[in-house]
Structures are given as C-alpha cells and as structure tokens.
Amino acid sequence: MPMTCEQCRELLPAFLSGDLSPAEQEAVNIHLAGGCPGCAGAFVEEQATVALLGFSLDPIPPPPLAKARLMERVTAGGDLNVAARETAGASDARKPAERGRWLRALAVAALVALVIGAGYHLLERRRSQQRIVALQRVIEDRDTRLAQLQSLVTTGQLSLIALDGSKPQPNASGRVFWDKDSGRWHVFVFDMQPPPPGREYELWFITADQKKVPAGTFGVDARGRGELVVQVPADLGPLALAAVTDEPVGGSPQPTGAIQLVGEVK
C-alpha cells in the first residue's frame, strides 16, 4: 500500500537520522521520488532545520594545517580554472606537484645549458689551442724564411740564375739566388699559369753531364707567383741548367712533363 503524505512527514525526522527500517526507508524514498511537492518541500525544510543544529555550537578554529591539506587535495584534482585562479590571485593554491614538475624542468634545462656551455667552452678551448699551434708554426716558418733571406742578403758568395718561359708559358719568368755559402737556392717564379689539375711544378738540377736531379715541387698563387728554397746537394757536381716542368702531384724521379722554365747556370 502506498504511503500517505501524513505517514511520510511523520517519518521524515527518523528518515534523516537513519532510524527507519529498510522497508520504511524505501517507502519514504518512493513517496518523495513520486513527485509529491508538499512532502518534498517538507523534507527540505526538515533537513534545513536539522542543519540549524550547527549554529548551536561555539565555533572552533580548525588546525592551521587543515586548510593547507584541503587546498593540496583540491588543487591535486587538476580541474582548476586557471584564469579564475589568476584573477583571484590565488597563486598560493598552485598545485605542488605542478610546481615540482616546473622546478624539475627548470633544473634539467639549467643542467642541459650547463653541459652545453661546458662542452662549447671545451670545444672553443681546443680550437683556440689548435689556432695557437698553427700560428706558432706560421711564425716559425716566417722566422726560418727571414733567417734564410738574411743569410741570402748577407752572404759573401751569391750567384743569380735567370729562368725564362719556354713554349708552353712564354711570358713566365723566374730567378734563382744561389747562396753558395749555405749551398741553398732561393727560387722565385713570376707570371706562371696554375698547373693543370693533378699536377704541380717541379724544379730540376741538370748537371753538366745531363743528369737530371729532382730539387723540389711548388705551386703558384693567383698572380702566378711561387717560391721555393732548396738545398743543393754537395756531391752533385758541376751544374749546367735549372729547369721547371709540370709533373704529377708529389713529383717525379725523372722529368715527364713539358719544360715550363729553363735557365743556364753560370
């Protein structure tokens, strides 16, 4: 039998305090859910009346940490409205885990930057050391060349050999300063064409008995200029000619290319 409104309202206090039997509770639920507006309103009023009991108590400030625990739990839910939170200025409500992630990300970024910086520093340091070594070699070469030129200028026995361009390069020319004190030839060439790809120029000592001795290889710059300093072998014997041919890169034991320059040794 359906519950009447009078029966329902009589049971509402016990319904709210959980003192009804399962059958009675089910009956009240059915009655309220059945759309009886009077009893539904009475239930809400009864419930509000019970809520009044909270006012009969003296307020007690909760422990200070309770609020922090609440905000931590709430913000850990991850469904905050960021805009609203920023508007409210509730920056202290930011999720601790999120702060932790940001801090970890920043730490990783800082570490990566540090490693990259340290690596770049080490690389630059190594490059600088390489540049220093290269510059030291340049300086040493220039010191050697300067010493050779000083020797050439100050030598007591100096011979000059003029080199003339032959048929392939008639406009080319050269000079050989023979420092007989040191036994060195200082060779300078002018207006020579660059050698063909895979080839370079080679200087030859040609003795009186037509023996051809390789003296060294060299290249020319954009203006067709090149130079070479070579030591004349002491046991070479009387020299008759100086000649320049084009040879495969690395030089040849005997001339194979055309003669580019040639001069008589006097």
Partner 1 sequence: MATELLLYEAVAQEIGKPSAPPSSEDLVLFNSMAAGDVAALETLYNRYSPMVFALCARVVGDKTEAEDVLIDVFSQIWTRRTQFDPARGAPLTYILTIARSRALDRRRSRRGRPVLDDAAAASSAAGAPSDGPVGRLLAGEDALRVRAALAQLDEGPRRAIELSFLEGLTHAQIAEKLDRPLGTIKTIIRQGLIRLRELVRIPGRDAPDAHDM
Region 89-148 residues binding partner 1, contact defined as CB under 8 A: 89-90, 93
The answer to whether 16 and 45 have CB atoms below 8 angstroms apart is no
Nearest to partner 1 of 56, 210 (CB atom): 56
Using CB under 8 A as the binding rule, whether residue 64 contacts partner 1 is answered as no
Both tokens assigned to 79:
């469904």
**Hey, how many other C-beta atoms are within 10 angstroms of the C-beta on 185?**
23
For residue 4, the minimal CB distance to partner 1 (Å) is 13
Binding-site member from 1, 2, 23, 60 for partner 1 (CB under 8 A): 60
Region 25-54 residues binding partner 1, contact defined as CB under 8 A: 25, 32-33, 35, 37-54
- Choices 5-13, 118-126, 135-143, 145-153 (CB under 8 A): range interacting with partner 1: 5-13
Using CB under 8 A as the binding rule, whether residue 222 contacts partner 1 is answered as no
SS3 content of the chain, % helix, strand, coil (to 5): 45, 25, 30
Using CB under 8 A as the binding rule, whether residue 18 contacts partner 1 is answered as yes
Region 71-90 residues binding partner 1, contact defined as CB under 8 A: 71, 73-75, 77, 79-81, 84-85, 87-90
Using CB under 8 A as the binding rule, whether residue 208 contacts partner 1 is answered as no
Chain-centroid distance of CA 89 in Å reads 41
Question: Is residue 243 within a helix (H) or strand (E), and if so which, with residue range?
Answer: strand 239-248
* Cα–Cα distance, 198 to 252 (Å, whole number): 13
Nearest to partner 1 of 22, 156 (CB atom): 22
Using CB under 8 A as the binding rule, whether residue 6 contacts partner 1 is answered as no
Q: What is the 8-class DSSP label of residue 254?
A: S
Number of residues that bind partner 1 (CB under 8 A): 59
Using CB under 8 A as the binding rule, whether residue 157 contacts partner 1 is answered as no
Nearest to partner 1 of 16, 265 (CB atom): 16
Using CB under 8 A as the binding rule, whether residue 21 contacts partner 1 is answered as no
Residue 101: helix, strand or coil by DSSP?
Answer: helix
For residue 100, the minimal CB distance to partner 1 (Å) is 18
- Phi and psi of 49, rounded to 5°? -65, -45
Nearest to partner 1 of 59, 156 (CB atom): 59
Using CB under 8 A as the binding rule, whether residue 170 contacts partner 1 is answered as no
Using CB under 8 A as the binding rule, whether residue 66 contacts partner 1 is answered as yes
Summary count for the chain: helices (H), strands (E)? 6, 8
- Phi and psi of 218, rounded to 5°? -160, 170
Both tokens assigned to 29:
């639920």
> Which residues partner with 163 through β-bridges?
174
* Cα–Cα distance, 239 to 200 (Å, whole number): 23
By C-alpha distance, which of 214, 216, 221 is closest to 195? 221
Applying CB under 8 A, which residues contact partner 1?
A: 9-10, 12-14, 16-19, 25, 32-33, 35, 37-63, 66-67, 69-71, 73-75, 77, 79-81, 84-85, 87-90, 93
